[in-house]
């Protein structure tokens, strides 16, 4: 079971072991789901409607976008930004799972609450994700910029991107989109741990070892899909804000917008793209969430 469990038959994970498990899980899953992440980001940033019925923009479907990226940019394009993405996954996974283990242990030892209840997992999971987000936001912004650019590249490598962004936009550009990220990440991560806790207990009430890995995979995948669907609009808003100042590299993809903060972004998307605009890229995002969350909980459960 993920989280501090005083009744576990084996030795409980220390925060350091949880950090190592979270890092390893993040690294493996990032390599697997990177193509879905690139397609998702391209959908999220497209102002025109993403629809095969009304083909207005550059991308109008999952398979069409995949073929288009492959034809125009080649297979490596699906791993654009992979270096900052891997650093993000390792850092985020380490901070999140170490914080979660430490917080659930603190709850067990310092309060009267059971550390394995869904409510405790929701609060501790949300707080752990907020800690990881603040620590890793610059890497997330860099990953988004790399995934969003086409050919020819505006940023040639990680060092060039950091230097260019710092020189032209200032240090705070690395924290673009932090507000919607924090607003979304608490319920998103909290719901992940919450639903994982419930589903895992339903599938494996005795927490047995024989099928524990499979149950963790299924529970994690379902938890990822549910939590991502409920908080998805905030992820889209974050991506739109992260590419502010990056309009030149986005011109060839279609219309571009410059947003002046979180509220302006919400209002303009609602006015220009309607409710559906907040859910662009949901289908590849749900596939990504199912795979990444399932494998992450599976790897951490298996440690």
Please provide the DSSP assignment of 94-116 as one string: HHHHHHHHHHHHHHHHHSSS-TT
Residue 178 Cα to chain centre, angstroms: 13
Per-run averaged pLDDT (10 residues), the chain, 303 residues = 55 65 72 87 90 84 92 90 84 85 87 82 89 92 87 85 93 90 86 84 67 76 89 92 80 85 94 93 89 75 52
Q: What is the pLDDT of residue 1?
A: 44
CB 203 within 8 A of CB 196: no
Q: What is the pLDDT of residue 171?
A: 92
CB 240 within 8 A of CB 209: no
Q: What is the pTM of this model?
A: 0.76
Alpha-carbon dihedral angle through residues 52, 291, 125, 299, given to the nearest 10 degrees: -170
User: What token pair was written down for 54?
Assistant: 């009304």
Q: What is the pLDDT of residue 279?
A: 94
Distance CA 178, CA 171 (A): 13
CB 84 within 8 A of CB 142: yes
User: What token pair was written down for 263?
Assistant: 């509220």
């Amino acid at each position: 079971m993920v989280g501090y469990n005083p009744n576990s038959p084996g030795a409980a994970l220390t925060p350091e072991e949880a950090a190592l498990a979270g890092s390893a899980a993040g690294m493996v899953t990032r390599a697997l789901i990177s193509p879905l992440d690139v397609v998702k980001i391209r959908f999220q940033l497209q102002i025109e409607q993403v629809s095969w019925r009304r083909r207005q923009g550059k991308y109008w479907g999952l398979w069409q976008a995949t073929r288009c990226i492959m034809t125009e940019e080649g297979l490596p394009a699906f791993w654009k930004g992979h270096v900052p993405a891997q650093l993000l996954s390792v850092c985020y996974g380490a901070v999140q799972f170490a914080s979660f283990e430490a917080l659930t242990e603190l709850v067990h030892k310092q309060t009267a609450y059971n550390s394995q209840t869904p409510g405790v997992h929701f609060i501790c999971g949300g707080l752990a994700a907020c800690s990881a987000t603040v620590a890793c936001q610059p890497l997330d912004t860099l990953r988004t910029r790399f995934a969003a650019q086409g050919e020819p590249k505006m940023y040639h490598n990680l060092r060039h991107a950091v230097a260019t962004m710092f020189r032209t936009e200032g240090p705070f550009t690395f924290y673009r989109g932090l507000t919607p990220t924090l607003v979304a990440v608490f319920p998103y991560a909290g719901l992940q741990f919450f639903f994982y806790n419930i589903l895992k207990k339903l599938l494996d009430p005795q927490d047995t070892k024989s099928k524990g890995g499979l149950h963790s995979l299924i529970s994690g995948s379902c938890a990822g899909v549910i939590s991502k669907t409920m908080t998805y609009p905030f992820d889209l808003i974050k991506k739109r804000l992260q590419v502010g100042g990056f309009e030149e590299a986005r011109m060839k993809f279609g219309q571009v917008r410059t947003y002046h903060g979180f509220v302006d972004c919400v209002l303009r998307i609602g006015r220009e793209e309607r409710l559906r605009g907040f859910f662009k890229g949901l289908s590849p995002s749900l596939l990504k969430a199912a795979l990444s969350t399932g494998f992450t909980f599976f790897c951490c459960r298996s440690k």
